[in-house]
Structure 1
Amino acid sequence: MNTPDNTVQVTSLPDLAQILPYLLGHYPDDSIALHAPGPNFHDGPTMTCPLPEDTAEWQATAENAARQFVAYAHNQGHDPTLGVIIYLSREPRPGQSPEDTAALLAPIGTWLTDEFKHRATVLRTISLVANRWWAYECTIDGCCEGEPLPSPDDSTSIVAQMTRLGRTPGPRTRDIIKEFQATADPDFLNDLHTAADHFNSQCATNAGRDATLMTTLNQIDTAMSQFRNGAHALSRALTTQLIVGLQDDDAVEAGMAHTQDDDLPHARRLWAYLARHCAEPFTHEAAPILTLFAFAAWRQGDLIAVRLALRDAITNDPDYELATGIHLGTIDGEDPREWLASAREGHARCMAHLQHAVEVTSEYRPTTDTTAVRYREALDTAATHYYDQAQTEEGRLLARHGTIDIANGALADFRNGRPQLKDDTAARIILGLQDLHARDAALSTGEESDLPYERQLWGYLARRCVPPHTAKAPPLLTLLGWVAWRQGDTHTASHAFVEALDSYPGYTMAKLLLDGIRNEIDPARFLAECRDAVAEFAANRPYLDTI
C-alpha cells in the first residue's frame, strides 16, 4: 500500500487482517466490510454493513450488501471483477467461544460469494473475532484458524508500519456510537412520557400545532445558545420538550439550519446529547435527532459517524425519509452545503408562515393570561342556568331569541366603541350560540359597514372559550370566518373554519363554508341563504308573545 512518500507492505494474510481499521477509518464491530483493492491496495471502494443480532436475517443482509457494493463500485468507476476482499467481524456473545463465532460467520462468506457470481471476484474472505483472524479459503486443517493479529511490537506489522508514518487505526464502532447511544433512565423516561402526551394534545389542532412548533423553534435556539456557550447538558424540562418537539419535520429543518461552520461542534454535541436520552420505548423518537447528528457530522466530513448514526435512525424508523435521503446523499457524493441551503430556505418559509399564522390566530385563540380563570368561571356558572332553561321546546325557543337579543346588544356596544362585555353576558352568548338555530340567526347578513364590529365581537367571544370550554368555540369561529369571507379575507376565514373543524370535525356549517372558499364560490350565494335563515327565524318572534 503506497502513500505519497512511503510504502506499506501488505504481504501476508495477517497483514491483510490487521489493515482493516486503516482501510475503513474505523474497526467495524459486528459487520460485513467489503473492499475492492485499487492500484495502491487502499485505493478503491469500501463499504460496511452492520450484521443484525438475529442470525436468521444474515443471508438476506449479505445478499443485499453484495448487490449494493457492486452498484457502488461501478458508480465509483471500479470494476469489482478485478477482486473484492470480504471482512466479517463479530464479538463472541456470552457463552460463545471465538471458534464458535467464526464458524457462525462462515456461511456469510458463501452467501456473498454466490451473490457476487459473475459480477465480482472474491479474493479473500477473512473473519476477525476477539483480536484473532480466520481465512476461510484456506483448506488446510488448523491453518489460518484463530491466529492472533500481529503484535504492534513486531516491526514488520501493519500497526508498526502505520505508526512510523504517523497513522493511527480508526476507533471501534462500539466506541464511536457511545457519542449518541441511548442509556435508560426510568425517571427521565417517565417525564418524557408526560411531555409526549402534552405535545400530542397541544398538536390536536392546526393552531395548536403552529403554536407548539414556534415554541420548539425557540427552544432549539435556546439550547444552541447554551451549548455554544459551553454547556454539555440541558434542564430536564427543555430536554424532554425538545425530543418530542423534534418529531415535527419543520423543527428538524430548523435544526439542520443550525449547522453553519462555526456552530457545527455545538450542534453535534446537542443532537448527540438528545439522542442519548431516547432509550426504549422512545427509540422511534430518536430517528430525527440521530439524523440531525448525522447531518452535522456530514458537514464535518465524518462519514463514519454519519453512517453509524443513520444506521440507527433507519433501524428505529425505516420510513423516515430524511435519514434515507441523507444516507443516499453521502453515497452519491452530494455536497451537504446544498442541503444546508435548502434547509435554511425551508426554515425561512416556515417562519414566515408561523408569524402570519400567529397574527391570524391571535384574533380568536383562547386567552391564556390570568383572565382565563375568570372566563372559565363565568362559563361554568352560566352553563347551569342556560341548560336548565333549554330543557323544554318552549324554553329552547326563548333561549334562542334571547341569545340573539343579547348578541345584538353586544354588537351595538362594539359599534358604539364599548368593546367590553360583562363576563356573564359574554358567557350567555357563547352558550346560546351552541344552538344551531341561534347560530344561523347570528350569521352576518347586514351592511358591509357592520362587518368590522361583527368580526370584533366573534373574535372577542372565541378568545373566551378557554379550557375546558374550547369545544364551544366552533360556532364563534364559524361566525368569524363567515364575516372575514364577506370582507374578502379568505386566509383568516380558512384558518377559522379549519380551527372549528379541528375542534369538531363534524361541524357541518364550517365545512360547507370552507369548501366554498376552496372551490372559489361567490360568498353572495351563501349570503342569500343566510338572509333566508334570518328571516325565517325572525318570523317566529310573534309566537313568543303567546308563551
Structure 2
Amino acid sequence: MTKHTESTQPSTAGQITLRSPAELADALPYLMGFHPDDSIVMVALHGERGRFGGRLRLGIPAANEEWAETSKQLAECLVSGSERRGDRPSAVIVFLCQDPAEGEAPEAVMERLRPLAQRLRLACGRLDVPVLEALCISRGRFWSYCCPDSRCCPRGGTPLGLPGTTVMAAAAVYAGIEVRGSLREMEARFAPLTGPRAQEQETALDEAGSALIPRILGGADRGVVREETLDLVRLLIERFRKASAVTGPVSADIGDDGLVAPGEAAAIILGLQDRQTRDRAAEWMEAPDAEPALRLWRAVARRCVGAYQDHAAAPLTLAGWVAWSSGDETVARVALALALRVDPDYLFAKLLHQGANEGLDPEALRRCLREERDEREAGGATCAESPVRPRGGRPRGRHPVGRAGRAPDAHPAAAGRGRIPAKRRGDGRRPVRRRRVYPRSRR
C-alpha cells in the first residue's frame, strides 16, 4: 500500500481550486507524481474548502471477494493516518484507475468496478467520512459514480483533457511538479532482466553462491566477504559516477545494465543478504554518491532473476532509501512497495515505507548512519555492538532498525532461515534439481 501524504499545493500563492469531476480526473497524475494505472486511489479532504490531505494507493484486487475487506482497511488507514497527523478528514475522493482487458470496452470496466466504488463509499460512510466524488478512469476517459446528471457525466464517459492543457497542469509547471509516466512504467525500471541476459545472470549467481556460501557459513570469512562486497559497491558507484560525467545522468536503465558485469552483480546481490553489509551500503545516501548509488541499486535489482528474484528485497530497499533521502518520495514509494511485494516481511523496507508515507524527515536516519560510519572509521564500537544512552535515559541501539525494537541477530543461515529455491521443470512443475542459494536476511 502506498500512501501519499504531501500537500498538493507547494505554497499559498500556488493554490488552485478544482470545481468539477473533469478537473479532479485531470489533476490525479499531478497529485500522485505518476499515472496510477490498475489502482485504487483515495484522497483525504480537510476543512470547508476541501483542502487536499493524505493520499493512499493500492492495486485493485483481482478477486471480487477481497473488495469488502480491502475497502474497510483502506478507509481505516486513510482516516487513522490523517488523525495521527492531527486532522481528521472531512471527506474523501475516490479514483478507480484501470485500462480494459483485451476485448473489453472502457464502459465495461466502469460497470465492473461499480461494486468496488460502492464498497469504498460505504466503508468511508461507516467512519462518518463521506465520499464526495468517486471516479473511474479508463483508457483516457472518466466516469462519475456519484453524479446522476447525464449532461455533466454522460454514460459513454468524458475524455480527459489533453496533457499539459488543464488548470492543474499549468499550476504543476509553475510549481516544478513532474509526472513520471505511469506506475507500470516506473515499476518496469526495476523489473528483472529477461531472455539470454537473465540466463547468463542466473548462471553467475549459481557460481557466486557456490564460492560464497562456504565462506559465509564457515564464519571466519564472513567479515572478509562483507568488506569485499562493500569494496565492490564502492568501485561500481565510482564507475557510475564517471559514466554520468561523460554522458550525463542516464534515465534509461537498460544502458545502466551494461555498466555491471554478471559476476559483479551476483557478488553484490548475495553479499547484500547479510544485514550488516546492507546497512553499511545504506551509507551511500548523499551527494555526490546518491545519484550513482540509486542507479546501481536499480541495476542490481534488475539482476535478481529466476530463482533469485526474492533476493531483490535488499537492493530495492536501498534504492527506496536513497530516493527518499534525496527527496524523491515518488520513486522511494515505488521501490519500497516493490521490495515489500517481493518480501512482505522485510523489516527494513517496512520501516522505511512507513516513514516515507507518514512524511517523516529522513535526516534522523541519515544522522544515525553518519555517526555509525564515523565511529567505525575512528575504530570505535558500532551500534550493533555497543548501546548508547539517549537523552531520555534508557539505553538503546543507535541503529535505526534497532530503535524499532529489533536486537542485532545472527546471520540468517545460523538460525535456519536460508532458503533453497528450486528451478522449475520444463513442464512448469517443481523441480528438476535443487541448488543452494545464499540465505536471505529478512531484516
The alignment's TM-score, normalised by the length of structure 1, stands at 0.59
Which of 86, 108, 118 lines up with 1:100 in the alignment? 108
Aligned position for 1:245: 271
Instruction: Go from structure 1 to structure 2 and tell me whether the alpha carbon gap of 1:17 and 1:272 turns closer, same or farther (over 3 Å shift).
Output: same
Residue identity in the other structure for 2:107: E
Aligned position for 2:190: 180
Following superposition, the deviation at residue 271 of structure 1 comes to 0.7
Indicate the SS of the match to 1:49. strand
Following superposition, the deviation at residue 345 of structure 1 comes to 4.2
Aligned residues between the structures: 355
Following superposition, the deviation at residue 164 of structure 1 comes to 7.6
Indicate the SS of the match to 2:282. helix
Indicate the SS of the match to 1:86. strand
Q: Is the 8 A contact 1:8 1:161 kept in 2?
A: no
> Do structure 1's residue 285 and structure 2's residue 298 form an aligned pair?
no
Aligned position for 2:282: 256
List per-residue Cα deviations over 1:327-381 (Å, max 9, x = no partner): 11123332212212323444567786999xxxxxxxxxxxxxxxxxxxxxxxxxx
Residue identity in the other structure for 2:207: T
Q: Is the 8 A contact 2:324 2:362 kept in 1?
A: yes
> Do structure 1's residue 272 and structure 2's residue 298 form an aligned pair?
yes
RMSD between aligned alpha carbons?
3.1
Residue identity in the other structure for 1:87: F
- Residues in 2 aligned to 1:164 and 1:324: alpha-carbon distance in whole angstroms: 33
- Residues in 1 aligned to 2:29 and 2:203: alpha-carbon distance in whole angstroms: 40
Aligned position for 1:223: 236
- Residues in 1 aligned to 2:261 and 2:57: alpha-carbon distance in whole angstroms: 37
Aligned position for 2:86: 77
Q: Is the 8 A contact 1:45 1:76 kept in 2?
A: no
Following superposition, the deviation at residue 48 of structure 1 comes to 1.7
Q: Is the 8 A contact 2:43 2:55 kept in 1?
A: yes
> Do structure 1's residue 323 and structure 2's residue 333 form an aligned pair?
no
Aligned position for 1:26: 34
- Residues in 1 aligned to 2:178 and 2:283: alpha-carbon distance in whole angstroms: 33
Aligned position for 2:132: 123
List per-residue Cα deviations over 1:247-301 (Å, max 9, x = no partner): 1111111111111232111111111111122234322100011000000000111
Indicate the SS of the match to 1:45. strand
Instruction: Go from structure 1 to structure 2 and tell me whether the alpha carbon gap of 1:195 and 1:100 turns closer, same or farther (over 3 Å shift).
Output: farther
Q: How does 1:344-359 map to 2 (within 5 A)?
A: 344-346=370-372
Instruction: Go from structure 1 to structure 2 and tell me whether the alpha carbon gap of 1:322 and 1:61 turns closer, same or farther (over 3 Å shift).
Output: same
Following superposition, the deviation at residue 23 of structure 1 comes to 1.9
Residue identity in the other structure for 1:175: E
Instruction: Go from structure 1 to structure 2 and tell me whether the alpha carbon gap of 1:349 and 1:181 turns closer, same or farther (over 3 Å shift).
Output: farther
Instruction: Go from structure 1 to structure 2 and tell me whether the alpha carbon gap of 1:350 and 1:49 turns closer, same or farther (over 3 Å shift).
Output: farther
Q: How does 1:196-235 map to 2 (within 5 A)?
A: 196-230=209-243, 232=256, 233-235=259-261
Following superposition, the deviation at residue 166 of structure 1 comes to 6.6
Residue identity in the other structure for 1:91: D
Q: Is the 8 A contact 2:30 2:169 kept in 1?
A: no
Instruction: Go from structure 1 to structure 2 and tell me whether the alpha carbon gap of 1:222 and 1:56 turns closer, same or farther (over 3 Å shift).
Output: farther
Residue identity in the other structure for 1:202: R
Structure 1: where are the runs of 5+ without partners?
Answer: 356-501, 503-547
Indicate the SS of the match to 2:137. strand
Moved more, 30-39 or 306-315: 30-39
Which structure is richer in relative contact order (CA contacts within 8 A, separation 6 or more)? 2
- Residues in 2 aligned to 1:68 and 1:250: alpha-carbon distance in whole angstroms: 33
Following superposition, the deviation at residue 87 of structure 1 comes to 0.8
Instruction: Go from structure 1 to structure 2 and tell me whether the alpha carbon gap of 1:67 and 1:284 turns closer, same or farther (over 3 Å shift).
Output: same
Aligned position for 1:459: none
Following superposition, the deviation at residue 28 of structure 1 comes to 1.2
Moved more, 200-209 or 268-277: 200-209
- Residues in 2 aligned to 1:7 and 1:353: alpha-carbon distance in whole angstroms: 51
Indicate the SS of the match to 2:94. strand
Q: Is the 8 A contact 1:128 1:134 kept in 2?
A: yes
- Residues in 1 aligned to 2:215 and 2:66: alpha-carbon distance in whole angstroms: 40
Q: Is the 8 A contact 1:250 1:347 kept in 2?
A: no
- Residues in 2 aligned to 1:77 and 1:354: alpha-carbon distance in whole angstroms: 40
Instruction: Go from structure 1 to structure 2 and tell me whether the alpha carbon gap of 1:286 and 1:98 turns closer, same or farther (over 3 Å shift).
Output: same
Which of 17, 24, 35 lines up with 2:25 in the alignment? 17
> Do structure 1's residue 301 and structure 2's residue 333 form an aligned pair?
no
Aligned position for 2:206: 193
Aligned position for 2:406: none
Instruction: Go from structure 1 to structure 2 and tell me whether the alpha carbon gap of 1:123 and 1:234 turns closer, same or farther (over 3 Å shift).
Output: same
Structure 2: where are the runs of 5+ without partners?
Answer: 1-7, 245-255, 383-413, 415-443
- Residues in 1 aligned to 2:28 and 2:139: alpha-carbon distance in whole angstroms: 14
List per-residue Cα deviations over 1:394-424 (Å, max 9, x = no partner): xxxxxxxxxxxxxxxxxxxxxxxxxxxxxxx
Instruction: Go from structure 1 to structure 2 and tell me whether the alpha carbon gap of 1:167 and 1:207 turns closer, same or farther (over 3 Å shift).
Output: closer
Residue identity in the other structure for 1:15: E
> Do structure 1's residue 151 and structure 2's residue 161 form an aligned pair?
yes
Following superposition, the deviation at residue 49 of structure 1 comes to 2.0
Moved more, 13-22 or 173-182: 173-182
Q: Is the 8 A contact 1:133 1:144 kept in 2?
A: no
- Residues in 1 aligned to 2:375 and 2:209: alpha-carbon distance in whole angstroms: 26
List per-residue Cα deviations over 1:148-177 (Å, max 9, x = no partner): 33433897x435654784766623212322
Indicate the SS of the match to 1:281. helix
- Residues in 1 aligned to 2:376 and 2:172: alpha-carbon distance in whole angstroms: 51
List per-residue Cα deviations over 1:188-225 (Å, max 9, x = no partner): 22222332343323211211322222211221221222
Q: How does 1:124-523 map to 2 (within 5 A)?
A: 124-139=133-148, 143-152=153-162, 157-158=166-167, 161-162=170-171, 165=174, 170-171=179-180, 172-184=182-194, 185-230=198-243, 232=256, 233-346=259-372
- Residues in 1 aligned to 2:169 and 2:221: alpha-carbon distance in whole angstroms: 62
Indicate the SS of the match to 2:127. coil
Q: Is the 8 A contact 2:283 2:369 kept in 1?
A: yes
Structure number having the greater helix percentage: 1
Aligned position for 1:91: 99
The alignment's TM-score, normalised by the length of structure 2, stands at 0.72
Residue identity in the other structure for 2:57: T
Q: Is the 8 A contact 2:134 2:144 kept in 1?
A: yes
- Residues in 2 aligned to 1:180 and 1:18: alpha-carbon distance in whole angstroms: 27
- Residues in 2 aligned to 1:183 and 1:236: alpha-carbon distance in whole angstroms: 11
Instruction: Go from structure 1 to structure 2 and tell me whether the alpha carbon gap of 1:207 and 1:323 turns closer, same or farther (over 3 Å shift).
Output: same
Taking every aligned residue pair, what percent have the same amino acid on both sides?
25
